[in-house]
Protein backbone atom coordinates (compact mmCIF):
# COMPACT_ATOMS: atom_id res chain seq x y z
CA UNK A 1 0.00 0.00 0.00
CA UNK A 2 1.18 3.47 -0.90
CA UNK A 3 1.04 6.18 1.76
CA UNK A 4 0.73 8.95 -0.81
CA UNK A 5 -2.37 7.39 -2.39
CA UNK A 6 -4.11 7.03 0.97
CA UNK A 7 -3.18 10.58 1.91
CA UNK A 8 -4.52 11.89 -1.39
CA UNK A 9 -7.80 9.98 -1.02
CA UNK A 10 -8.22 11.34 2.49
CA UNK A 11 -7.68 14.90 1.34
CA UNK A 12 -9.73 14.70 -1.83
CA UNK A 13 -12.77 14.67 0.44
CA UNK A 14 -11.73 17.89 2.16
CA UNK A 15 -13.53 20.81 0.55
CA UNK A 16 -14.77 24.14 1.85
CA UNK A 17 -18.43 24.59 2.67
CA UNK A 18 -20.18 25.77 -0.50
CA UNK A 19 -21.73 28.65 1.41
CA UNK A 20 -18.30 29.98 2.33
CA UNK A 21 -17.21 29.90 -1.30
CA UNK A 22 -20.47 31.52 -2.42
CA UNK A 23 -19.94 34.27 0.10
CA UNK A 24 -16.44 34.92 -1.22
CA UNK A 25 -17.67 34.95 -4.80
CA UNK A 26 -20.31 37.46 -3.83
CA UNK A 27 -17.57 39.57 -2.25
CA UNK A 28 -15.45 39.27 -5.34
CA UNK A 29 -18.43 40.50 -7.34
CA UNK A 30 -18.90 43.53 -5.14
CA UNK A 31 -15.16 44.19 -4.82
CA UNK A 32 -16.04 45.91 -1.63
CA UNK A 33 -13.31 47.74 0.23
CA UNK A 34 -14.54 46.51 3.57
CA UNK A 35 -13.73 42.82 3.63
CA UNK A 36 -13.57 40.94 6.87
CA UNK A 37 -13.67 37.22 7.55
CA UNK A 38 -16.54 35.66 9.41
CA UNK A 39 -15.16 34.89 12.82
CA UNK A 40 -16.50 32.90 15.67
CA UNK A 41 -15.47 34.53 18.90
CA UNK A 42 -15.96 33.49 22.45
CA UNK A 43 -16.92 36.12 24.94
CA UNK A 44 -17.05 36.29 28.68
CA UNK A 45 -20.18 35.88 30.75
CA UNK A 46 -20.19 39.60 31.47
CA UNK A 47 -20.11 40.40 27.78
CA UNK A 48 -22.95 37.94 27.20
CA UNK A 49 -24.98 39.71 29.82
CA UNK A 50 -24.24 43.04 28.16
CA UNK A 51 -25.34 41.69 24.80
CA UNK A 52 -28.44 40.26 26.41
CA UNK A 53 -29.26 43.71 27.75
CA UNK A 54 -28.67 45.16 24.27
CA UNK A 55 -30.95 42.56 22.71
CA UNK A 56 -33.53 43.09 25.41
CA UNK A 57 -33.56 46.77 24.57
CA UNK A 58 -33.90 46.06 20.87
CA UNK A 59 -36.78 43.68 21.29
CA UNK A 60 -38.88 46.36 22.88
CA UNK A 61 -39.59 47.96 19.52
CA UNK A 62 -40.86 44.71 18.00
CA UNK A 63 -44.43 43.41 17.99
CA UNK A 64 -45.70 41.00 20.56
CA UNK A 65 -45.65 37.49 19.15
CA UNK A 66 -45.04 35.06 21.94
CA UNK A 67 -44.96 34.82 25.66
CA UNK A 68 -44.87 31.13 26.34
CA UNK A 69 -43.74 30.15 29.77
CA UNK A 70 -41.14 27.60 28.75
CA UNK A 71 -37.86 27.56 30.69
CA UNK A 72 -36.15 30.10 28.47
CA UNK A 73 -39.02 32.51 28.77
CA UNK A 74 -39.20 31.89 32.49
CA UNK A 75 -35.51 32.66 32.70
CA UNK A 76 -35.93 35.77 30.58
CA UNK A 77 -38.88 36.89 32.62
CA UNK A 78 -36.64 36.82 35.66
CA UNK A 79 -34.29 39.26 33.96
CA UNK A 80 -36.62 41.25 31.80
CA UNK A 81 -40.33 40.47 31.43
CA UNK A 82 -40.58 42.90 28.53
CA UNK A 83 -37.82 41.18 26.55
CA UNK A 84 -39.39 37.76 27.04
CA UNK A 85 -42.62 38.96 25.49
CA UNK A 86 -40.94 40.09 22.31
CA UNK A 87 -39.06 36.92 21.39
CA UNK A 88 -39.89 35.32 18.05
CA UNK A 89 -40.68 31.63 18.58
CA UNK A 90 -38.83 29.07 16.46
CA UNK A 91 -39.10 25.87 18.48
CA UNK A 92 -37.17 23.59 16.12
CA UNK A 93 -35.16 20.86 17.74
CA UNK A 94 -32.64 18.07 17.22
CA UNK A 95 -32.24 15.01 19.40
CA UNK A 96 -29.28 12.68 19.80
CA UNK A 97 -27.89 10.57 22.64
CA UNK A 98 -30.97 11.37 24.71
CA UNK A 99 -30.17 15.08 24.61
CA UNK A 100 -32.54 17.52 22.96
CA UNK A 101 -31.32 20.85 21.59
CA UNK A 102 -34.06 23.30 20.75
CA UNK A 103 -33.92 26.65 19.03
CA UNK A 104 -36.48 28.53 21.06
CA UNK A 105 -36.40 31.93 19.48
CA UNK A 106 -34.61 34.08 16.93
CA UNK A 107 -34.95 37.77 16.34
CA UNK A 108 -33.20 40.44 14.29
CA UNK A 109 -33.09 44.10 14.91
CA UNK A 110 -30.68 46.48 13.27
CA UNK A 111 -27.24 44.96 13.11
CA UNK A 112 -27.80 42.32 15.79
CA UNK A 113 -29.49 38.93 15.67
CA UNK A 114 -30.23 37.12 18.94
CA UNK A 115 -31.02 33.43 19.08
CA UNK A 116 -31.86 31.43 22.15
CA UNK A 117 -31.38 27.70 22.32
CA UNK A 118 -31.95 25.24 25.14
CA UNK A 119 -30.49 21.82 25.85
CA UNK A 120 -32.02 19.21 28.10
CA UNK A 121 -31.24 15.64 29.03
CA UNK A 122 -34.26 13.43 28.36
CA UNK A 123 -32.74 10.35 29.97
CA UNK A 124 -30.34 11.44 32.71
CA UNK A 125 -28.63 14.36 34.36
CA UNK A 126 -25.82 15.23 31.97
CA UNK A 127 -27.08 18.82 31.65
CA UNK A 128 -26.44 21.10 34.59
CA UNK A 129 -25.71 24.72 35.39
CA UNK A 130 -22.07 24.28 34.33
CA UNK A 131 -22.85 22.93 30.85
CA UNK A 132 -20.31 24.36 28.42
CA UNK A 133 -20.25 24.13 24.62
CA UNK A 134 -16.63 25.45 24.65
CA UNK A 135 -15.24 25.21 21.07
CA UNK A 136 -17.55 22.44 19.91
CA UNK A 137 -20.29 24.54 18.34
CA UNK A 138 -20.45 26.14 14.93
CA UNK A 139 -22.66 28.81 13.46
CA UNK A 140 -23.05 28.74 9.69
CA UNK A 141 -24.64 31.77 8.13
CA UNK A 142 -24.60 33.19 4.60
CA UNK A 143 -23.68 36.72 5.65
CA UNK A 144 -20.79 38.47 7.29
CA UNK A 145 -21.07 38.61 11.07
CA UNK A 146 -19.28 38.11 14.33
CA UNK A 147 -20.88 35.15 16.05
CA UNK A 148 -20.81 34.34 19.75
CA UNK A 149 -22.51 31.76 21.91
CA UNK A 150 -22.65 31.99 25.68
CA UNK A 151 -24.58 30.28 28.40
CA UNK A 152 -27.54 32.47 29.33
CA UNK A 153 -28.96 30.55 32.26
CA UNK A 154 -30.10 27.30 33.79
CA UNK A 155 -33.62 26.36 34.82
CA UNK A 156 -33.35 23.87 37.67
CA UNK A 157 -37.05 23.04 37.55
CA UNK A 158 -36.93 21.70 33.99
CA UNK A 159 -33.23 20.85 33.89
CA UNK A 160 -32.79 23.00 30.76
CA UNK A 161 -29.73 25.10 30.12
CA UNK A 162 -30.11 28.02 27.74
CA UNK A 163 -27.58 29.66 25.46
CA UNK A 164 -27.66 33.01 23.71
CA UNK A 165 -26.20 33.16 20.22
CA UNK A 166 -25.50 36.66 19.03
CA UNK A 167 -24.61 37.59 15.48
CA UNK A 168 -23.44 41.11 14.97
CA UNK A 169 -22.92 42.67 11.57
CA UNK A 170 -19.36 43.45 10.57
CA UNK A 171 -19.33 44.95 7.12
CA UNK A 172 -22.42 47.02 6.50
CA UNK A 173 -23.76 44.23 4.32
CA UNK A 174 -27.05 44.05 6.18
CA UNK A 175 -27.82 47.59 5.11
CA UNK A 176 -27.67 46.46 1.50
CA UNK A 177 -29.99 43.53 1.92
CA UNK A 178 -32.06 42.31 4.80
CA UNK A 179 -31.05 39.12 6.54
CA UNK A 180 -34.67 38.49 7.51
CA UNK A 181 -35.51 35.03 6.26
CA UNK A 182 -31.85 33.99 5.89
CA UNK A 183 -31.18 30.52 7.22
CA UNK A 184 -28.74 29.77 9.97
CA UNK A 185 -27.40 26.39 10.98
CA UNK A 186 -26.32 25.96 14.57
CA UNK A 187 -24.61 22.70 15.42
CA UNK A 188 -23.01 21.17 18.47
CA UNK A 189 -20.88 18.05 18.46
CA UNK A 190 -20.10 17.72 22.16
CA UNK A 191 -20.48 19.51 25.46
CA UNK A 192 -18.97 19.48 28.92
CA UNK A 193 -20.84 19.45 32.18
CA UNK A 194 -20.29 18.91 35.89
CA UNK A 195 -17.45 21.39 35.75
CA UNK A 196 -15.82 22.77 38.84
CA UNK A 197 -13.14 25.35 39.45
CA UNK A 198 -10.36 25.11 42.00
CA UNK A 199 -9.57 28.69 42.89
CA UNK A 200 -6.29 29.64 44.51
CA UNK A 201 -5.01 26.14 45.05
CA UNK A 202 -1.87 26.17 47.17
CA UNK A 203 0.75 23.80 45.76
CA UNK A 204 3.12 22.44 48.40
CA UNK A 205 6.56 22.74 46.87
CA UNK A 206 9.88 23.86 48.31
CA UNK A 207 10.94 26.66 46.00
CA UNK A 208 14.14 27.43 47.86
CA UNK A 209 16.15 24.57 46.39
CA UNK A 210 15.47 24.19 42.71
CA UNK A 211 17.72 22.50 40.17
CA UNK A 212 19.85 25.05 38.35
CA UNK A 213 20.50 22.83 35.37
CA UNK A 214 17.44 20.67 34.84
CA UNK A 215 17.31 18.29 31.91
CA UNK A 216 15.70 19.91 28.90
CA UNK A 217 14.76 19.05 25.35
CA UNK A 218 13.58 20.81 22.20
CA UNK A 219 9.83 20.26 21.83
CA UNK A 220 7.51 20.86 18.89
CA UNK A 221 4.87 23.16 20.26
CA UNK A 222 1.15 22.77 19.94
CA UNK A 223 0.39 26.19 21.27
CA UNK A 224 1.74 29.16 23.13
CA UNK A 225 0.50 32.24 24.90
CA UNK A 226 1.65 35.42 26.55
CA UNK A 227 4.65 37.37 25.35
CA UNK A 228 6.36 34.40 23.72
CA UNK A 229 7.43 36.26 20.58
CA UNK A 230 9.53 38.64 22.65
CA UNK A 231 11.48 35.63 23.89
CA UNK A 232 12.10 34.25 20.40
CA UNK A 233 9.69 31.34 20.72
CA UNK A 234 8.48 30.07 17.38
CA UNK A 235 7.36 26.56 16.56
CA UNK A 236 9.76 24.82 18.91
CA UNK A 237 11.03 25.66 22.38
CA UNK A 238 13.44 24.34 24.97
CA UNK A 239 11.32 22.73 27.65
CA UNK A 240 11.89 20.68 30.79
CA UNK A 241 11.97 16.93 30.46
CA UNK A 242 9.16 15.79 32.77
CA UNK A 243 10.85 14.18 35.77
CA UNK A 244 8.88 15.28 38.83
CA UNK A 245 5.50 14.17 40.02
CA UNK A 246 3.88 16.50 42.51
CA UNK A 247 0.15 15.81 42.65
CA UNK A 248 -1.92 18.94 42.17
CA UNK A 249 -5.34 17.45 41.49
CA UNK A 250 -4.48 13.75 41.23
CA UNK A 251 -8.05 12.55 40.74
CA UNK A 252 -8.42 14.80 37.74
CA UNK A 253 -5.07 14.12 36.11
CA UNK A 254 -3.30 17.37 37.01
CA UNK A 255 0.30 16.96 38.08
CA UNK A 256 3.30 19.23 38.43
CA UNK A 257 5.96 17.49 36.36
CA UNK A 258 8.94 19.79 36.29
CA UNK A 259 10.48 22.93 37.72
CA UNK A 260 13.84 24.57 37.30
CA UNK A 261 15.83 27.41 35.81
CA UNK A 262 16.53 27.40 32.09
CA UNK A 263 18.64 30.26 30.74
CA UNK A 264 17.91 32.33 33.84
CA UNK A 265 14.13 31.95 33.62
CA UNK A 266 12.04 29.84 35.96
CA UNK A 267 10.15 27.11 34.10
CA UNK A 268 7.24 25.35 35.81
CA UNK A 269 5.63 22.48 33.97
CA UNK A 270 2.18 21.01 34.58
CA UNK A 271 0.77 17.90 32.96
CA UNK A 272 -2.91 17.57 32.14
CA UNK A 273 -4.10 14.17 31.00
CA UNK A 274 -6.41 13.81 28.02
CA UNK A 275 -7.01 17.51 27.50
CA UNK A 276 -8.33 16.97 23.97
CA UNK A 277 -11.07 14.94 25.64
CA UNK A 278 -12.01 17.14 28.54
CA UNK A 279 -10.78 20.71 28.01
CA UNK A 280 -9.35 20.82 31.53
CA UNK A 281 -7.15 23.86 31.88
CA UNK A 282 -5.57 26.17 34.39
CA UNK A 283 -2.54 28.23 35.26
CA UNK A 284 -0.03 28.82 38.04
CA UNK A 285 1.33 31.92 39.67
CA UNK A 286 3.79 32.81 42.40
CA UNK A 287 3.19 34.95 45.44
CA UNK A 288 5.99 36.77 47.22
CA UNK A 289 5.29 39.10 50.16
CA UNK A 290 1.74 39.76 48.96
CA UNK A 291 3.00 40.45 45.47
CA UNK A 292 1.78 38.27 42.62
CA UNK A 293 4.15 37.15 39.89
CA UNK A 294 2.55 35.92 36.66
CA UNK A 295 4.33 33.97 33.95
CA UNK A 296 5.67 35.94 30.99
CA UNK A 297 4.79 33.25 28.49
CA UNK A 298 3.49 29.71 28.24
CA UNK A 299 4.10 26.91 25.78
CA UNK A 300 2.34 23.59 25.43
CA UNK A 301 3.36 20.30 23.88
CA UNK A 302 1.86 16.86 23.69
CA UNK A 303 3.22 13.42 24.54
CA UNK A 304 1.67 9.99 24.30
CA UNK A 305 1.84 7.57 27.19
CA UNK A 306 2.49 3.88 26.68
CA UNK A 307 -1.17 3.06 27.29
CA UNK A 308 -2.30 5.34 24.45
CA UNK A 309 -3.39 8.33 26.52
CA UNK A 310 -2.24 11.77 25.56
CA UNK A 311 -0.72 14.13 28.07
CA UNK A 312 -0.52 17.84 27.38
CA UNK A 313 2.31 19.64 29.13
CA UNK A 314 1.90 23.33 29.84
CA UNK A 315 5.15 25.03 30.68
CA UNK A 316 4.91 28.47 32.22
CA UNK A 317 7.99 30.66 32.24
CA UNK A 318 8.52 33.25 34.96
CA UNK A 319 10.98 36.13 35.04
CA UNK A 320 11.94 35.80 38.69
CA UNK A 321 15.33 35.34 40.34
CA UNK A 322 16.20 32.49 42.76
CA UNK A 323 16.63 35.11 45.50
CA UNK A 324 13.09 36.40 45.01
CA UNK A 325 11.84 32.82 45.18
CA UNK A 326 13.10 32.20 48.68
CA UNK A 327 9.89 33.33 50.34
CA UNK A 328 7.58 32.61 47.45
CA UNK A 329 4.70 30.18 47.31
CA UNK A 330 3.14 28.51 44.29
CA UNK A 331 -0.58 28.77 43.55
CA UNK A 332 -2.89 27.54 40.84
CA UNK A 333 -6.35 27.85 39.42
CA UNK A 334 -7.81 24.94 37.50
CA UNK A 335 -11.07 24.34 35.70
CA UNK A 336 -11.98 20.67 35.62
CA UNK A 337 -14.68 19.18 33.43
CA UNK A 338 -16.36 16.24 35.05
CA UNK A 339 -18.15 14.86 32.00
CA UNK A 340 -18.04 15.10 28.25
CA UNK A 341 -21.01 14.09 26.10
CA UNK A 342 -20.56 13.56 22.37
CA UNK A 343 -23.26 13.58 19.75
CA UNK A 344 -24.57 15.47 16.77
CA UNK A 345 -27.13 18.19 17.27
CA UNK A 346 -27.83 20.41 14.30
CA UNK A 347 -30.75 22.74 13.63
CA UNK A 348 -31.27 24.93 10.58
CA UNK A 349 -33.76 27.71 11.07
CA UNK A 350 -34.74 31.02 9.46
CA UNK A 351 -34.20 34.44 10.97
CA UNK A 352 -37.66 35.94 11.00
CA UNK B 1 -12.36 41.43 -13.91
CA UNK B 2 -15.11 39.71 -11.93
CA UNK B 3 -14.81 36.59 -14.09
CA UNK B 4 -11.09 36.43 -13.39
CA UNK B 5 -11.57 36.79 -9.64
CA UNK B 6 -14.30 34.17 -9.63
CA UNK B 7 -12.28 31.77 -11.74
CA UNK B 8 -9.23 32.14 -9.48
CA UNK B 9 -11.27 31.65 -6.30
CA UNK B 10 -12.90 28.54 -7.71
CA UNK B 11 -9.58 27.19 -8.96
CA UNK B 12 -7.65 27.59 -5.72
CA UNK B 13 -10.42 27.04 -3.18
CA UNK B 14 -9.80 23.29 -2.68
CA UNK B 15 -6.02 23.73 -2.48
CA UNK B 16 -6.20 26.54 0.06
CA UNK B 17 -8.83 24.81 2.15
CA UNK B 18 -6.95 21.50 2.24
CA UNK B 19 -3.73 23.14 3.38
CA UNK B 20 -5.68 25.15 5.98
CA UNK B 21 -7.28 21.94 7.26
CA UNK B 22 -3.96 20.14 7.32
CA UNK B 23 -2.34 22.89 9.32
CA UNK B 24 -5.22 23.84 11.63
CA UNK B 25 -6.43 20.31 12.32
CA UNK B 26 -10.06 21.40 12.55
CA UNK B 27 -12.69 22.81 10.24
CA UNK B 28 -13.60 25.84 12.29
CA UNK B 29 -10.11 27.32 12.07
CA UNK B 30 -9.74 26.14 8.49
CA UNK B 31 -12.89 28.08 7.56
CA UNK B 32 -11.41 31.18 9.10
CA UNK B 33 -8.05 30.77 7.35
CA UNK B 34 -9.74 30.00 4.03
CA UNK B 35 -11.82 33.15 4.12
CA UNK B 36 -8.93 35.33 5.21
CA UNK B 37 -6.75 34.11 2.33
CA UNK B 38 -9.32 34.93 -0.33
CA UNK B 39 -10.35 38.20 1.26
CA UNK B 40 -6.69 39.23 1.07
CA UNK B 41 -6.67 38.16 -2.55
CA UNK B 42 -9.82 40.16 -3.31
CA UNK B 43 -8.44 43.21 -1.52
CA UNK B 44 -4.99 43.13 -3.09
CA UNK B 45 -5.70 41.47 -6.43
CA UNK B 46 -1.99 40.85 -6.98
CA UNK B 47 -0.56 40.48 -10.46
CA UNK B 48 1.06 37.09 -11.03
CA UNK B 49 3.84 36.28 -13.47
CA UNK B 50 2.49 32.83 -14.22
CA UNK B 51 0.44 29.99 -12.73
CA UNK B 52 3.37 28.69 -10.66
CA UNK B 53 3.77 32.10 -9.09
CA UNK B 54 0.02 32.28 -8.47
CA UNK B 55 -0.10 28.87 -6.80
CA UNK B 56 2.92 29.69 -4.63
CA UNK B 57 1.27 32.96 -3.55
CA UNK B 58 -1.86 31.18 -2.38
CA UNK B 59 0.12 28.51 -0.52
CA UNK B 60 2.32 31.12 1.14
CA UNK B 61 -0.59 33.29 2.23
CA UNK B 62 -2.44 30.24 3.55
CA UNK B 63 0.60 29.26 5.62
CA UNK B 64 0.95 32.84 6.89
CA UNK B 65 -2.72 33.12 7.82
CA UNK B 66 -2.56 29.75 9.59
CA UNK B 67 0.49 30.97 11.51
CA UNK B 68 -1.28 34.15 12.55
CA UNK B 69 -4.23 32.20 13.84
CA UNK B 70 -2.00 29.71 15.64
CA UNK B 71 -0.11 32.49 17.38
CA UNK B 72 -3.22 34.12 18.71
CA UNK B 73 -3.81 33.71 22.42
CA UNK B 74 -6.93 31.65 22.04
CA UNK B 75 -4.90 28.84 20.46
CA UNK B 76 -3.54 27.99 23.87
CA UNK B 77 -5.37 24.72 24.00
CA UNK B 78 -4.45 21.61 22.08
CA UNK B 79 -6.14 21.48 18.73
CA UNK B 80 -8.62 18.73 18.01
CA UNK B 81 -8.49 16.26 15.17
CA UNK B 82 -10.13 17.08 11.85
CA UNK B 83 -13.84 16.46 12.08
CA UNK B 84 -16.66 15.95 9.61
CA UNK B 85 -14.37 14.32 7.05
CA UNK B 86 -15.84 11.64 4.86
CA UNK B 87 -13.63 8.82 6.03
CA UNK B 88 -14.58 5.74 4.10
CA UNK B 89 -11.90 3.16 4.77
CA UNK B 90 -10.16 1.94 7.92
CA UNK B 91 -6.87 3.16 6.40
CA UNK B 92 -8.25 6.69 6.05
CA UNK B 93 -9.59 6.68 9.61
CA UNK B 94 -6.28 5.34 10.84
CA UNK B 95 -4.32 7.94 8.89
CA UNK B 96 -6.56 10.78 10.05
CA UNK B 97 -5.99 9.73 13.64
CA UNK B 98 -2.22 9.48 13.13
CA UNK B 99 -2.07 12.92 11.47
CA UNK B 100 -3.75 14.34 14.55
CA UNK B 101 -0.71 13.26 16.55
CA UNK B 102 1.60 15.45 14.50
CA UNK B 103 2.50 19.01 15.44
CA UNK B 104 0.80 21.48 13.07
CA UNK B 105 4.10 22.41 11.40
CA UNK B 106 4.72 18.77 10.47
CA UNK B 107 1.22 18.28 9.07
CA UNK B 108 1.84 21.28 6.85
CA UNK B 109 5.07 19.79 5.48
CA UNK B 110 3.48 16.38 4.97
CA UNK B 111 0.61 17.95 3.06
CA UNK B 112 2.76 20.05 0.78
CA UNK B 113 5.04 17.11 0.06
CA UNK B 114 2.48 14.34 -0.47
CA UNK B 115 -0.55 16.23 -1.74
CA UNK B 116 0.86 19.25 -3.54
CA UNK B 117 3.91 17.22 -4.57
CA UNK B 118 6.33 20.04 -3.89
CA UNK B 119 10.03 19.49 -3.35
CA UNK B 120 11.59 20.16 0.03
CA UNK B 121 13.23 23.26 -1.47
CA UNK B 122 9.89 24.60 -2.69
CA UNK B 123 8.29 23.83 0.67
CA UNK B 124 11.09 25.71 2.40
CA UNK B 125 10.47 28.76 0.20
CA UNK B 126 6.73 28.73 0.92
CA UNK B 127 7.06 28.18 4.65
CA UNK B 128 10.16 30.35 5.10
CA UNK B 129 12.13 27.41 6.48
CA UNK B 130 15.53 26.08 5.52
CA UNK B 131 15.46 23.09 3.17
CA UNK B 132 17.34 21.09 5.78
CA UNK B 133 14.68 21.96 8.36
CA UNK B 134 11.95 20.79 6.00
CA UNK B 135 13.81 17.52 5.39
CA UNK B 136 14.22 16.97 9.12
CA UNK B 137 10.57 17.72 9.78
CA UNK B 138 9.52 15.36 7.01
CA UNK B 139 11.66 12.59 8.45
CA UNK B 140 10.34 13.17 11.98
CA UNK B 141 6.76 13.34 10.74
CA UNK B 142 7.14 10.02 8.91
CA UNK B 143 8.60 8.43 12.03
CA UNK B 144 5.67 9.63 14.15
CA UNK B 145 3.15 8.48 11.56
CA UNK B 146 4.76 5.04 11.30
CA UNK B 147 4.46 4.71 15.05
CA UNK B 148 0.73 5.31 14.99
CA UNK B 149 -0.30 3.81 11.67
CA UNK B 150 -1.60 0.28 11.92
CA UNK B 151 -1.26 -0.16 8.18
CA UNK B 152 2.09 -1.21 6.76
CA UNK B 153 2.96 1.00 3.80
CA UNK B 154 5.26 -0.29 1.07
CA UNK B 155 6.09 3.19 -0.02
CA UNK B 156 6.38 6.15 2.32
How many CA atoms lie within 13 Å of A106's alpha carbon, on the beta-carbon side?
Answer: 21
| B-proximal residues of A, 108-137, CB under 8 Å | 135
How many CA atoms lie within 13 Å of B75's alpha carbon, on the beta-carbon side?
Answer: 22
Tens digit of each residue's pLDDT (9 = 90 or more) over A264-296: 899 999 998 766 667 778 889 999 876 889 899
CA distance B61 to B34: 10
Quote the pLDDT of residue A35: 36
> Does any domain span residue B156?
no
Structural contact between residues A315 and A240, judged by C-beta atoms closer than 8 angstroms = yes
CA dist A141 → A17, A182, A218, A281, B65 (Å): 11, 8, 42, 31, 22
Structural contact between residues A265 and A319, judged by C-beta atoms closer than 8 angstroms = yes
Structural contact between residues A207 and A261, judged by C-beta atoms closer than 8 angstroms = no
> Does any domain span residue B26?
yes
Structural contact between residues A119 and A176, judged by C-beta atoms closer than 8 angstroms = no
Name the residue among A203, A189, A169 with its Cα closest to residue A284.
A203
Q: Which one-letter DSSP state was computed for residue A237?
A: E
DSSP string, B40-88: HHHHH----SSHHHHHHHHHHHHHHHHHHHHHSGGGGSPPPPP-S----
Tens of pLDDT along chain B (156 residues) come to: 667 888 899 999 999 999 999 988 888 788 889 998 998 888 888 888 888 899 999 999 999 888 877 655 343 343 343 444 455 677 888 888 888 888 888 899 999 999 999 999 999 999 888 888 889 889 988 988 988 887 777 677
| B-proximal residues of A, 218-257, CB under 8 Å | 220-226, 229, 235
Q: What is the ipTM of this complex?
A: 0.90
Structural contact between residues A266 and A317, judged by C-beta atoms closer than 8 angstroms = yes
Within chain B, what is the greatest distance between any pair of CA atoms? 50
> Does any domain span residue B44?
yes
Number of structural domains (chain B) is: 1
Q: Which residues does chain A have within 8 Å of residue B31's beta carbon, measured at their own beta carbons?
A: 16-17, 20, 38
Quote the pLDDT of residue A275: 66
> Does any domain span residue B154?
no
| B-proximal residues of A, 37-96, CB under 8 Å | 37-40, 42
pLDDT along chain A (352 residues), means of 10: 87 86 82 38 36 37 38 57 60 90 84 87 91 81 74 87 83 64 84 86 86 88 79 85 84 87 92 74 85 89 77 91 88 86 89 74
> Does any domain span residue B135?
yes
CA B95 to chain centre: 16
Quote the pLDDT of residue B122: 93
Quote the pLDDT of residue A60: 32
Q: Domains of chain A by range and CATH?
A: 16-195+340-350 (2.60.40.1630), 197-336 (no CATH)
> Does any domain span residue B153?
no
CATH code, domain carrying B70: 1.20.140.160
> Does any domain span residue B126?
yes
- Candidates B2, B13, B71; nearest CB to A29: B2
Quote the pLDDT of residue B105: 84
Q: Which residues does chain B have within 8 Å of residue A279's beta carbon, measured at their own beta carbons?
A: 77
**What count of other Cβ atoms lies within 10 Å of the Cβ of residue A310?**
17
> Does any domain span residue B61?
yes
Structural contact between residues B76 and A223, judged by C-beta atoms closer than 8 angstroms = yes
Quote the pLDDT of residue A49: 40
Quote the pLDDT of residue A77: 57
CA distance B36 to B31: 9
Quote the pLDDT of residue B82: 43
Say yes or no for a CB contact (<8 Å) between B103 and A221: yes
Quote the pLDDT of residue A115: 86
Q: Crossing angle of helices B51-71/B120-127, nearest 10°?
A: 60
Say yes or no for a CB contact (<8 Å) between B34 and A4: no
Give the structural domain span for B116: 2-148
- Candidates A38, A189, A220; nearest CB to B83: A189
CA distance A106 to chain B (A): 23
Tens digit of each residue's pLDDT (9 = 90 or more) over A44-74: 333 334 333 333 333 333 333 333 445 555 6
Amino acid sequence: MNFKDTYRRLNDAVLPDRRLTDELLKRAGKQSRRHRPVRTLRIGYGAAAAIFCLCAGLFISMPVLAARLDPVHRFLYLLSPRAAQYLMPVQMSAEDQGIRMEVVSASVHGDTACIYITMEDLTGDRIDETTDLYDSYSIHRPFDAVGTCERAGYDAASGKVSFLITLKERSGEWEEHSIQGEKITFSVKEFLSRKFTCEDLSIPLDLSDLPEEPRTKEADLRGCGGDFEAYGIDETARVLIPDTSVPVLPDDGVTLTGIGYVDGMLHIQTALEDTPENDNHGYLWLETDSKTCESVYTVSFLEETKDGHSVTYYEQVFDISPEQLTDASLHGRFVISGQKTKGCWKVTFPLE
Amino acid sequence: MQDRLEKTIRQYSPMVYRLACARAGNRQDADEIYQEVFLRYIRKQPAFQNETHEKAWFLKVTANCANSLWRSARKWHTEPLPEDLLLETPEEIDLSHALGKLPPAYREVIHLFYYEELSTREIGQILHRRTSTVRTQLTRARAILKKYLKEEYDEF
